[in-house]
Amino acid sequence: MKFANIDVDEHGHSFFKDIDLPQIGIPQRISSKIQDVLYWQMTLSQPGHFVDFKAASDLKFVAVFSGQMDITVSNGETRNFVRGDMLTMWDTSGQGHITRFVGLEPCHVLHIALKDKGEFK
């Protein structure tokens, strides 16, 4: 399963890349291996809310339940995330990323803090 990922280079600049979480099982039901987590948190952000450059507080897995958000990394690339999208945030140091909540409806997001990068490749 592929995910968008925000990572950081040796100079503290964030960038997007795509990573893979290996899946196991049969074609009718596949899943990942169990991943260790530290905690989870739900957020609700209103359209128009803006968070300037900020590094992730922990390694995170993020899932969008409703609404939409644009995330911009320090190299200027912006990606839009909507209901059903998932991403990982590994930019725990450096410049971080910008988050803009866009569209017409509130954005519900699940943040899961990861113990480590686990099975992600």
* Nearest CA-CA partner of 4 in 69, 101, 49: 69
Contact call for residues 73 and 4 (beta carbons, < 8 A): no
Q: How confident is the model at residue 121 (pLDDT cuts 50, 70, 90)?
A: low
| β-strand pairing of 50-54 with 97-102 | antiparallel
State pTM to two decimals. Answer: 0.91
Q: State residue 107's pLDDT score.
A: 98
Q: How confident is the model at residue 98 (pLDDT cuts 50, 70, 90)?
A: very high
Q: Which CATH superfamily is domain 2-114 in?
A: Jelly Rolls (2.60.120.10)
Task: Kindly tell me if the per-residue pLDDT of 100 is higher than 80.
Answer: yes
